[in-house]
Structure 1
Amino acid sequence: MVVGGGAAGFMAAITAAEAGLQRVLVLEATAEPLTKVRLSGGGRCNVTHACWDPGELVGHYPRGQRPLRGPFSRFASGDSVAWFSDRGLDLVEEDDGRMFPQANRSSAVVDCLRTAARRSGVQLITGAPVQSVARDLSGGFVASCRGGGRFHARRLLLATGGHPSGRRLAAQLGHRLIAPVPSLFSLTLDASQLQGCAGVAVDDVLLTLEVGGERFRQIGRVLITHWGLSGPATLRLTAFAARTLQASRYRATLNVSWCSGSSHANLLEALQEQRTQAARRTLAASRPLADHLPRRLWLSMLHGVGAAPDQRWADCPARVEQGLLDQLKFCRYPVKGRGPFGEEFVTAGGVDLGEINLATMESRCCPGLHLAGELMDVDGVTGGFNFQHCWTSGWLAGQAAAKQVTGSDRTP
């Protein structure tokens, strides 16, 4: 019996059925399963990431890096690609390594999972929110649903994602829960000069977050928003700093180098080239590193140093040039909090990994109970890594449950 009809739950149910279990039941609280899969990636679903080495793959998980080496050595990104391909869904790699269904729509992933579940004999009951779970007299489990439904099973898998109900059920069966905190979120900054730059994206930006006596660094693409910064580099930064930020009540200092790929000497040379080669042009009309630096961001920098946009480069004072150099290389912004409420992608926290046998995803506290997906204290950065953990943990749990019940091992 699987509680939770999401990515990890479906993977586990299909795997167990294909491995020989004749009766597999999925209980989903909502009217429609796989909702998060359908909504993810802007309706495209970033299924996994083209990161083929398990040793490299674990580096994308702020929580769970070392413990996940074993699971990923058995089922990693390449295995996910093959698994979906075997069931009629081909994935396509984009330039940044993210992998999407060839049809470029999340409904293709949902259809693949639902078809595989139906063909393997998995029974799905929707609108069945589980309120409590307990051991029954036979040593199995009984799940009681709102409305009076009761279901019995020899093996139980909790795959409820980040929903509080799953943590409550795990606690009922003896597990210790690590308090959840938001992960993968944008930052609200005290940065009035960026307000006119909302929607501007910049590549190769170095972010250094100073919080709670620690420093966290990421380099990559950022998106300027009405409230501060978002984009892949920001989300990765907040994922690794999630617990420290929460402990500091989301007050910190963010240092931004808008041109991390250019040294101090190169930036100084680029500014001096403007003075010599664009001497008659205005500061607003001609900017250094034009291929990298968006015009609106450059104008905000001019405003930040008190430079007149219509001033010619030939007349640019040395203090303005130095100020612009500082703006390009080192901007310092107070962090006032997270981005808009509800914008968080995943949570950090859940069942302590020390209480789970990660080879089988079986509980060390409650034999016969398995756990998978976001309910565990594992979270990845953006790029398909959170789904990859769902596929891996679900596959291992399904294989183990089938082997325990049937006494055979059909692992490929």
Structure 2
Amino acid sequence: MPDADALITAAVAAVRGTDVRDAERKLDLLVVGSADGLGTADATAGPPSVDAALLGRLVAALHRLWPRGWQPTDVARIVARRLGARPGRLATDALAAGRATQSGPVPQWWDDQLAGLEARVRWADDAGWLSDWAAREGTDRITALRDAIEVLALLTGLPPVAVLRPPPGGSGGPTASGPSGPSGSRVLDRVRALLAKAESTTFPAEAEAFTGKAQELIARHSLERALVEATAAHPDRPGGVRISTDAPYAGAKALLVQEVAAANRCESVWSDDLGFATVLGFPADLEAVELLHTSLLVQATAAMLRGRRERRGGGRRTKAYDEAFLHAFARRIGERLRAATDEANRQATEAAGPDRLLPVLAARSGAVRERMDTLFPGVTRARLTVRDTEGWQSGTSAADHASLAAAAPPARPLPGRR
């Protein structure tokens, strides 16, 4: 006699298929709790058993993803991206339930991600989980069941991704780390404060000064860390982070990630089908990339909106203009950030001596590249195409106001695609 788990299995298979009517019929069976259509009549699976089984299946699907490289923030991001904000919140509930079932030590960075998602158990028992979630969302049971099945179908079909950190309970995987939250560094605290000022000011010259000072501090901090780690008993190793590159203009956002990463001794690979770029580098550099990218994306978006208002024809939005603007902004920012890093390298080399600093930097660059080649052996490169001259010119001008005033080497091509 088909039970709740059989009803769920049939519904997931139907949702993943191409027959829309069959998917609706299988979802209806979950609503009414009947086994009609599964080959046995008069078999029932009431709401409590269906809800408990659904939560169990979601948790099991999540646990299968962890050894395949996925992390809590990755799951929440892709569910929201592909299914919408409400299913994304349902996935967050499932993440909280999964954490409650994890045994053994759980790394702090894992709990930091869950805390950032506000993932916590909000229901009294698993049998009432979905009803509680539907009440919080202000929706009905049919919608809640449909969301849960669609989330489960998505989770069961996700491909493996690069394992950036060992999951809870994992062993034998990469041991490299990445940033796991506030570093406690006074330098990075000052960087955050400077970037916040750059985002909030309406005066381009002030934004330029704040962002320029932030990159200067970041570059010095990175060099200091490199020298310290060179003589440490247990030095840092290259790790990775994933940064969202959702539509619209995902390619331009990925280019901005790549340019910021390159200026901070990191490598970037864009997985456009999954909506993120993977950045590989040493922990302090990865945190710097996240801070800078977030701030510069805010500044680029604000400048783009101003550019729309100032262009011929008023505030009319065109895709070609926006893409050209953001591509030019990323290219110019990359030039300026690399110029700041090169200057910091020059000064540090003079202070520490080339025999001390240059071998350290070369070794770290080699370690990052080796990690890149291991995780992404099949990376390809693509060239960007610009179709709006006005947007390109406006984006370049905006980048001049957002960062440093020095020139630098030519821009890099669009980041690698997987």
More strand per residue: 1 or 2?
A: 1
Is this a same-fold pair by TM over 0.5? Answer: no
Higher RCO (C-alpha under 8 Å, 6+ residues apart): 1
More helix per residue: 1 or 2?
A: 2
Q: When the two structures are superposed, what TM-score results if normalisation uses the length of structure 2?
A: 0.21
